[in-house]
Amino acid sequence: MRQVVLDTETTGLAWERGHRIIEIGCIELIKRRPTGREFQRYLNPDRLIDAGAMEVTGISNESLLDKPRFHEIVDEFLDFIRGAELIIHNAAFDVGFLDNELSLVGRELGRISDYAEVVDSLRMAREQYPGQRNSLDALCKRLGVDNAHRTQHGALLDAELLVEVYLALTSGQGDLGLSLESPSQNPGNTASAVTVRPRRILRANDAESALHNERLRKIEEKQGACVWLADPTPALD
């Protein structure tokens, strides 16, 4: 399965009020493992960033003046997410902004859901931890994800943290550690992907053996010679 973990930074909190995306960050996963492929762009929003957003992101208006507009990178972005499962924290926020940006491009591009399936990791966290704080920072703390280096928000940085949070949230789903890949096929592994445990042998006690043999004798009385009664303790190996 191909997945893309995605985050955005914006000029403010509501696209309905004319706010725009100023950064997109994406990380590709294949079979729940990062592939090293990333998509990250800063964007010129053609408007000022709210003071609150500037404080949170550390992105200044001046730093975006020479950056591309969304319509200039939209095809590359859509190619990156096309056909993937998008993992987004509080997906309604990011998808709302992305759909708005698509509508402003000036050609019929549809909606994000036309290109990829969207999975909201915030909804997943609320189902697992009802009544608790489920922000990305709160989940990092709860799930043991190191975010000490996160002094400000950034789309790619938040996507990197979300990768770890999502994998921890879903560690029991679809990843049972049963990869058939051997250490020789994957030199980066220091141990086999499949853990082989010693076979456990349970042996009957004297009372259980007596009951078993009595049952076999009754079978022999009704049906004739019973091979198990002739050799009641056959070799196991």
Q: Catalytic site residues?
A: 153
Enumerate residues 6+ apart whose C-beta is below 8 A from 13: 19, 50, 53
Determine the 3-state secondary structure of 33 from DSSP: strand
Contact 51, 76 (CB under 8 A): no
Cβ burial 135-160 (10 Å sphere, 16+ → b, else e): ebbebbebbebebeeeeebbbbbbbb
Residue 233 neighbours by CB distance under 10 Å: 9
Enumerate residues 6+ apart whose C-beta is below 8 A from 83: 2, 115, 116
CA–CA distance, 214 with 155 (Å, rounded to integer): 72
* Closest C-alpha among 114, 49, 42, 105 to residue 75: 105
